[in-house]
Structure 1
Amino acid sequence: MTSSTLDITPHPNTRWGVMSNADLPTFGHTPLPSQLTDHGAAFYRATQPDYDSWISHVRAAAGCTRPLQLHGALGDARHTEQLPDGVIYKACGNRRHTVCPSCARTYQNDAYQLIRAGLIGGKGVPETVARHPATFATFTAPSFGPVHAHKVSKHTCRNRKRCDCRPDPCRPRRPEDIRLCQHGRPMVCFARHERGDTRIGTPVCADCYDYEHQVVWNLSSGELWRRTKQAADRHLRRLCRTRGIPFVVVYTNSGKARYLSPVRLSHGKVAEFQRRGVVHFHALLRLDGIDAWDLDAVIPPPAGIGVDDLHDALRYAATTIGLTVGGHPDNPTGWPIAWGTQLDLRPLNLAGDGDVTDGMAAGYLAKYATKSTEITGHNSTRLDADTINNYADDQGTHVERLIDACWRIGRPLPAVRRQGGLDTQPANARPTNPCQGLRRWAHMLGFGGHFFTKARRYSTTFGNLRAARIDFRRNEHQDHQQVDTGVVRAIDHQGEETTLVVGALTFAGAGWRNSGDALLANTAAAMARIRHETAREEIAHEIGTLADLPAAA
């Protein structure tokens, strides 16, 4: 029997979705014999007469590591008690690859299609976007202290993904240039760090490293991006006014005229954690025009604005925009929040023969849309007062010090009210800590934003992609002719603002009933993926073969 590589053996676990939690040693509603092994439980399930109906019933969540169990009524005539196991299994839908590889793969594929549609069109986006000026930008964080790094100044390899070039020394210095930090440590490193070296991203001197500034920067990075995009839009608007490009006149319902900028900046962005535990952003930015009669339409920008102007606007915004997070007793002057000096701008080549193509950019962003803090070696759920001591240590590792800084700076601060010249602290005062979100996002090293975001008009939405997938699965085994059966489906009413009651389902649990069920479900999903990939490769081969044939006369 072909088995899945997913971990299906139940063992103690307090974290959501890290493995297949087969917590209940039951078979349906009947307890399993205690002497059965994992494969024995799978064999017991497979030999039951209702096995075919059960495997078909769990198909929608077969590859999920920890599916949700829903219990309740299905309309007026059916109940989940009539179904196998008495519940409906629903995939967890988690984005993170370390939590659920199957659901993360679905999310990654949707993200790829969503991002690529914003570059070449399709899925409701006009194909004319392929001619819009677009660029692939990388915004990095500033330095919070010297860290160990993997450096290769000159590549001799042919494949960067499998680079085996000898790295350069980390932080070389001449003997006369070696200086000591205030703690007496030499700020030098002659080691040639390989890619898997655990010292990469760690400070040369942890006591000198500004952990507080880094976690506050992570917390405020979303606001910094919002202001940066606004500044780039304003720069492009001023550029259009200087060059005499006419603005778009739009009339409101009251008859007043509004003058809109003729250029609109649309984006798709992902956040990626570096080894040092700070996020940086990769963004696809596209220039669009404005249609006075349909503001939601995606049209080409006016003549006279190109990718070079887009680069100038982004450089201007990255170098001039910043903010200060102040008002904290640990740092009364505040922490400055700004971008680092490394700003990478690469124009996109949609012809497929440049350094950065649409497929490469979409694949790169979709890859990091399913990742989190794994690269730093930290992986946990939300921390609280009972679990913080397991991860935070002000004298521990680099990540432990970052989590400690989040918990310490994000502590609640009582509001101070001044009455009669005296400072009073009312018991019911709200916290006034500007960094109070750090405790909530301590498990994310302070970053509380979304890992994948996009502008509203950049492309389609995840909801539309999921709806199309649901519609396809419901009709893939039916005839192409539409037959009105009188059955009401939720998919038929997606465009209507109505309340359609199809049942009352409640949460009944998470995970598979036993390890045997997890083994069978994950194996069936793995075999289905292999069949789909094989079919996709065969179709691609046939299309390529037909493309090589001469055209018919």
Structure 2
Amino acid sequence: MRQLSEADRDAIRLVQDPKFSRWLDQVRATGGCAHPIHLSGSTTTWAPATGEILHHYDTRDEPGERLLIRCRNRRASVCPPCSRLHAGDTFHLVRAGLIGGKNVPPTVRNRPRLFITLTAPSFGPVHRAGDRCRPRRDGGTCEHGRPLGCGAAHEETAILVGQPLCPDCYDYVAHVLWHAHAGKLWDRFTRGVRRHLATAVGLTQSRFPDHARLSFARVAEYQKRAAVHIHAVVRLDGPAGPADEPPPWATTDLLTDAVHASARRVLIHTPYSPAVGQLALRWGTQLDARPLHSDGTGPDDDAVAAYIAKYVTKGADETGAGIDHRALTRTDVETAAVNAHAHALMRTCWHLGALQEYEPLHLRAWAHTLGYRGHILTKSHAYSTTYAALRAGRAQLAQQGDVTGVAHAQWGYIGSGHSPGAMLFAAGIAEELTLNLHVVRHDSHYVQGIVWPR
């Protein structure tokens, strides 16, 4: 036993526990969650008419007197099983807004729809993957003595890709402040789209909601240069939302024009700072707007939903930029396991966060995401279903056949995570379930009409 690792010794201890089978059932019920929540408490259900107790559950009868539930963390770097579940929910949420389902009518597939990508502007040249990074005929150096170009061929996985050619020339302040205002830029962008549509058809801005509604779902993706890009599905509905047909003037071409016009015009000024001045923030010049057609031409609806779902499980840490937890002290920033570029961005967040004029941005609290303060995925109210509805439907399906009545519950949090040995079992269960899912998906390719998130 002394030659065994701590995890192996702990695993043997768990197996020898008389309630091991029940504990294993709990872990399996969480899908092999890497950081389950431990709850203690009870639930009693009784018939309202007679007062008869129909069901009673108490964790005092469970292993360790606790119940394990999923952590529901969306990040794959924190909990792969829960992130896969979240990605699946995202796929169905986005897909429902594209082709219907989940209480969304299938007629949405015939509406004007676009898959758009909005980019961050350049804050300075960075190394790129490809045949030649940044070739320059005249060579030359910047004011800090570093080359203005790079003639090397970098692989996609090369450490240099995304790193500034000259960190001293790179505008880290603008990068962080752009991240901090990305949500506001998106809000201004959607307002601009509505404004352009209204103007194009002779409506006042205030009357636009009486004729049409702009629905969307968007996801933020961190690029190699540690800057966020926005991918979004935008759709034109009638004023009541998905169940309401848009007016005859609502066309894909008109929506495309509105997207391009709004992206060009959006402009936000940061609060004036004696240390920084006032910056003008815009979207980057690279904009992609692809029509989604019901006849199958253009991007595939399922592929678009899967693309967005893929990025919802990733954070700043997935690209080597940022970390998956908050930095509470300057030491946390300095010791973060990130590259030099991300370190500079985190330090900039920490420095700017101490300035009174930027206090509302809470930059220190968001240093781990390099200043980006928004949710990874957001959607308009009427786009499609919600995560809560999807989870409720899954829970209802799992509870089919259970007793119904009036329930009284008392629950409390008592811990989280796994012991070293428990982690081995959870990882094995998660791997087994993932393998089974891949097998089911492979076999289902022969069944017409079944679609799985990629």
Cα 1:436–1:412, aligned 2, differ >3 Å: closer, same or farther? farther
| Cα deviation, residue 331, structure 1 | 1.7
Instruction: Decide whether the 8 Å contact of 1:67 with 1:511 is kept in 2.
Output: yes
Cα 1:191–1:288, aligned 2, differ >3 Å: closer, same or farther? same
| Residues 316-327 of structure 1 mapped to structure 2, 5 A cutoff | 316-327=261-272
| Cα deviation, residue 179, structure 1 | 3.5
Give CA-to-partner distance per residue, 1:342-396, whole Å, 9 cap, x none. 11111113444x3411011111111001111121344241112253452489xx8
1:234 aligns with 2:183: no
Instruction: Decide whether the 8 Å contact of 1:274 with 1:280 is kept in 2.
Output: yes
Cα 1:404–1:458, aligned 2, differ >3 Å: closer, same or farther? same
Instruction: Decide whether the 8 Å contact of 1:287 with 1:301 is kept in 2.
Output: yes
Match of 2:15 among 26, 46, 63: 46
User: Hey, what's the Cα distance between the residues in 2 that align with 1:51 and 1:134?
Assistant: 52
User: Hey, what's the Cα distance between the residues in 2 that align with 1:260 and 1:511?
Assistant: 48
Q: Which residue of 2 aligns with 1:384?
A: 328
- 2:87 maps to amino acid: Q
What is the root-mean-square deviation of aligned Cα atoms in Å?
A: 2.8
Q: Which residue of 1 aligns with 2:135?
A: 172
Match of 2:144 among 162, 183, 189: 183
Give CA-to-partner distance per residue, 1:384-420, whole Å, 9 cap, x none. 2253452489xx821111111111111043xxxxxxx
Match of 1:505 among 408, 411, 415: 411
Q: Which residue of 2 aligns with 1:474?
A: 399
Q: Percent of aligned pairs with the same residue?
A: 37
Q: Normalized against structure 1, the TM-score is what?
A: 0.74
Instruction: Decide whether the 8 Å contact of 2:111 with 2:246 is kept in 1.
Output: yes
User: Hey, what's the Cα distance between the residues in 1 that align with 2:257 and 2:443?
Assistant: 46
| Cα deviation, residue 278, structure 1 | 1.1
Cα 1:202–1:531, aligned 2, differ >3 Å: closer, same or farther? closer
Instruction: Decide whether the 8 Å contact of 1:276 with 1:376 is kept in 2.
Output: no
| Cα deviation, residue 261, structure 1 | 4.0
| Residues 96-245 of structure 1 mapped to structure 2, 5 A cutoff | 96-150=75-129, 167-175=130-138, 178-241=139-202
Q: Which residue of 2 aligns with 1:277?
A: 226
| Cα deviation, residue 35, structure 1 | 6.7
Match of 1:459 among 378, 381, 384: 384
1:301 aligns with 2:301: no
- List alignment gaps of at least 5 residues for structure 1: 1-31, 151-166, 249-257, 414-431, 479-483, 489-500, 546-553
Instruction: Decide whether the 8 Å contact of 1:57 with 1:84 is kept in 2.
Output: no
- 2:65 maps to amino acid: G
Instruction: Decide whether the 8 Å contact of 2:42 with 2:58 is kept in 1.
Output: yes
Give CA-to-partner distance per residue, 1:207-245, whole Å, 9 cap, x none. 111100100000001001001100101111122227xxx
Q: Which residue of 1 aligns with 2:238?
A: 289
User: Hey, what's the Cα distance between the residues in 2 that align with 1:279 and 1:538?
Assistant: 37
| Cα deviation, residue 302, structure 1 | 1.5
Q: Which residue of 2 aligns with 1:364?
A: 307
Instruction: Decide whether the 8 Å contact of 1:73 with 1:504 is kept in 2.
Output: yes
| Residues 506-525 of structure 1 mapped to structure 2, 5 A cutoff | 506-512=412-418, 514-525=419-430
SS of alignment partner, residue 438 of structure 1: coil
User: Hey, what's the Cα distance between the residues in 2 that align with 1:58 and 1:41?
Assistant: 16
Q: Which residue of 2 aligns with 1:74?
A: 43
| Cα deviation, residue 247, structure 1 | 11
Cα 1:410–1:313, aligned 2, differ >3 Å: closer, same or farther? same
| Cα deviation, residue 120, structure 1 | 0.3
Question: Which has a greater percent of helix?
Answer: 2
Cα 1:388–1:528, aligned 2, differ >3 Å: closer, same or farther? closer
Q: Which residue of 1 aligns with 2:217?
A: 268
User: Hey, what's the Cα distance between the residues in 1 that align with 2:144 and 2:355?
Assistant: 31
